[in-house]
Structures are given as structure tokens and as C-alpha cells.
Amino acid sequence: MKQGTLLIHNGHESDPATGAVGTPIIQTSTFAQTDLTKHPEFDYARSGNPTRKALEEMIATLEDGAKGYAFGSGLAAISSVIGILSAGDHLITAEDIYGGTFRILNTFYKRWGLEVTAVNTADPENIRRAIKPNTRALYLETPSNPLLKITDLPACLAIAREAGLVSIVDNTFMSPYLQRPLELGADIVVHSATKFLGGHSDVVLGLAVTRTEELGQRVYALQNSFGAVPGPWDVWLVIRGIKTLKVRLDAQQASALKLARWLQSHKKVSAVYYPGLEGHPDKAIHEKQASGAGAVLSFKTRTTSQALDFLGKIKYTVVAESLGGVESNATYPVRMSHASMPPAERERLGITDTLVRISLGLEDVEDLVADFDQALG
Ligand SMILES: Cc1ncc(COP(=O)(O)O)c(C=O)c1O
């Protein structure tokens, strides 16, 4: 079955108890236990909830994994999954991962005894070179934020497998509709479902999917122990969002390509970063591992004041943290997502104060282009 069909028909198209076509929201903290000789499937809502179970099974099916787990946010999913490691273990990460992930790894987890090394994954061999006797896991994100750099997933994941590392991929930017890291060799996939899966800027939620039951049990133990679980209403919003993921992303990425091409020809724009653009250096690698370029792009203006002017004048694109909603969204990474990164590190990675990141929404692209034109002046 193709992904578009699977988004709708994934074992949860109707409720077995009532026939309801919409997934019921089971708003309860606990479950009555009528037979104390047996352990019920649901006993307490931190440990499990039928609405949450529906989403967990859905995402496991979509990512082609054994087990899925839902969390109160993307970062709750990521932090809980990293908890399968132990003090003294060494984790290798890509160097331009999401800022919040960088923060939890380099503050709490470092203090707690995890050793973390960030490498430039543009060359997969950098991963091999960073492996030490205590290396246990590899953490990747592609396309990267905010410069849309591509990591060759099969090449990096093969190195991890050879070395016996658990590999974790943040698939937020692509979603399972466009990229399925488990099929490419990853062990665990994590998501900020706050973004494209939810899709409407109205919910914060995270997901994790494991390749095996055994890894699933380890993640479940942490989901239940940390207890960073979402409530059923939030879960339901993501279930609803997933049903329209295909049509949203198809339209959003078509607009992204049009806008990226238009930006490329604008005299105030010095660079455009989008893996669907003919000039993107890793377009071929991305196309081997994903079925679309996604709906996020970034660009650099020639001067800082041009970037700030643009963000002040743009009308149909909301300037706000986040991405993946039905409304187009712009961020200014140096003051927003990457504000906590030391300026020298930002400069080294190319995250300059002329850089603007855009997530395309569902507006007519002609209106967006006209709006960008007036905002760039
Ligand atoms: C790639 C990526 N991963 C993880 C997160 C964290 O997700 P959340 O904000 O749902 O905690 C984000 C949030 O922006 C993100 O962009």
C-alpha cells in the first residue's frame, strides 16, 4: 500500500467498539478493574490510553516500525529516547541538529554522564572516525535546520550498524510521507508531531517509533517512567492532522519549489537553500532517500537590514517559531531557534544574521510571491 492510502487506512479507520469513524477521545485518568486475577490492557492513563494507542499504532505503521510511542512534545520524545543510554556512554550527533536537542544533550545529559560528540555528517566517514570503545548511539537529522543540509542516511546508518550503534533519526522535516528512516537502516525515528503531522499550529506533541519490539520495550519503560505523555485531545488532533498530510505536503512543497526558484532570481537574495532546487549540492542524495523536497526552505539577503525589513513587512507569512502549519511561517534563526548557540559557532555553520527560514503553508503561491516581492522591496 502506498503512503497516501496508508495515511487513511492504517488499521484505525473505525472504532471496533462503536463503529465510530472518528477515533474516540477517551478522557480518563484511570480504568475500572473488574477481574483482579488478570492484568488489564489499560490500568492507568500514563501507562496507556486507547486514543493514544491508536496514534501510536498509526505512526508505527506509517514509519514501518514495530512499536510507536507518543509524548507530550517532540523534545519529550527525544529526551525520553536518549534515556535508553547509560552514564558513561558516548553518543555521536550531526552538528546541526535542532537547537532544543543540542541543549538537552549538552546540559542535562552531559551532567548526567553522557559523552556527546557532534560531527559534520556531510562526510559519513566523520562518524566512523568519531567512534570510540564507549560509543553506543548515533543521532541524525536530515534535511538539517535551518540550512537544509542533507545527510546521506543509508551511508551513515550502515556505519552505525557495522559498529553496533543504536541509530536515531529525527524525521520531523520530512514526515513518513516523504522519508522513512527505518527502511533506510535506522533503529529509532523521532518526530515533533507539532509540525507537519499535526499540521495546523494547534498542538504540541512528539512521537517515537522503534525498528524492533525489544527497543520498543526500552522506550516504553521510559515513556511510562518519565511520564511525559500527551493528553487524548492533543493525540486526537494529531490523528486528524495525519489524515490530510499527503494533500497538505503535496501542495506545500509545490509552493516551496516555486518560491525557491523565484527567490533565486531576486537581486536582494544572495543564496537559497532548498533540496528541491537544481543547484542544491545534495539534491541527488536527498532524492535517493526521500520522495520529495519538503516544504521548508531558507534564504539569505545581502544585508542584515534587508532580512529585518523583510520580516517586518511580510503580511501572509506569520513570523513565529515552528513550521509545518497550514499558514506560511517565517523564522529568523539567529534571534529565534539558534539564539542560544554561541555566535562563533553559528557563524561557522553559516547561520548568519541575513538568514531567514520559511515553512510554506497552503496559501495560493501567487499571493505569497507577491507578498515576498513587496516585503523584499
Ligand atoms: C527538527 C525538530 N525536532 C524536534 C523539535 C522539538 O519539537 P517540540 O517543539 O514539539 O518539542 C523541533 C521543534 O521545532 C524540530 O524542529
Separation between Cα atoms, residue 219 and residue 214, nearest integer Å: 9
C-alpha cell at 278: 537544481
Per-residue pLDDT of the chain (377 residues; tens, 9 = 90+): 899 999 999 988 889 889 999 999 999 999 999 999 999 999 999 999 999 999 999 999 999 999 999 999 999 999 999 999 999 999 999 998 998 999 999 999 999 999 999 999 999 999 999 999 999 999 999 999 999 999 999 999 999 999 999 999 999 999 999 999 999 999 999 999 999 999 999 999 999 999 999 999 999 999 999 999 999 999 999 999 999 999 999 999 999 999 999 999 999 999 999 999 999 999 999 999 999 999 999 999 999 999 999 999 999 999 999 999 999 999 999 999 888 788 998 899 999 999 999 999 999 999 999 999 999 99
The residues annotated with a catalytic role in the active site are 46, 98, 170, 195
**The ligand 1 atom nearest the CA atom of 172:** 1
Mutual angle of helices 50-62 and 232-243, in 10-degree steps: 30
Cα–Cα dist 283/76, whole Å: 31
pLDDT one-digit tens code per residue, 322-332: 999 999 999 99
Are 153 and 124 spatial neighbours (Cβ–Cβ below 8 Å)? no
Mutate to test the pocket of ligand 1, among 78, 96, 104, 172 (most ligand atoms within 8 A of CB): 172
**171 Cβ closer than 6 Å to some ligand 1 atom:** no
Ligand 1 centre distance from Cα of residue 139 (Å): 14
Name the DSSP letter for residue 88.
Answer: T
> What ligand 1 atom has the least distance to the C-alpha of 101?
4
Give the pLDDT score at 149: 97
199 backbone φψ class: left, alpha, beta (φ>0; ψ -120 to 50): left
CB of 187 sitting under 6 A from ligand 1: no
Ligand 1 binding pocket includes 100 (Cβ within 6 Å) = yes
| 74 Cβ closer than 6 Å to some ligand 1 atom | yes
- How far does residue 115's CA lie from ligand 1's centre (Å)? 22
Q: Is 80 in the pocket of ligand 1 (CB under 6 A)?
A: no
Q: Are strands 296-301 and 269-273 parallel, antiparallel or unpaired?
A: antiparallel
Distance 192 CA to ligand 1 centre (A): 5
**CA 125 to centroid of ligand 1, rounded, Å:** 27
Cβ–Cβ under 8 Å, residues 188 and 219? yes
204 CB within 6 A, ligand 1: yes
pLDDT at 341 (0 to 100): 81
Q: Is 121 in the pocket of ligand 1 (CB under 6 A)?
A: no
Beta-bridge partner residues of 297: 358
Please give the number of the atom of ligand 1 that sits closest to the Cα of 75: 11
CB 216 within 8 Å of CB 67: yes
Q: For residue 37, how far is its CA from the centre of ligand 1 (angstroms)?
A: 42
Q: How far is the CA of 362 from the centre of ligand 1 (A)?
A: 21
Is the shortest distance between the CB of 154 and ligand 1 below 6 Å?
A: no
Q: Are 91 and 136 in contact (CB under 8 A)?
A: yes
**Amino acid (one-letter) located at 98:** Y
What confidence tens digit (pLDDT) does each residue in 58-111 have? Answer: 999 999 999 999 999 999 999 999 999 999 999 999 998 998 999 999 999 999
- Cis peptide bond prior to 143, omega within 30° of 0: yes
For 37, counting Cβ atoms within 10 Å of its Cβ (0-12 exposed, 13-18 middle, 19+ buried), the class is exposed
Longest pairwise C-alpha distance within the chain: 74
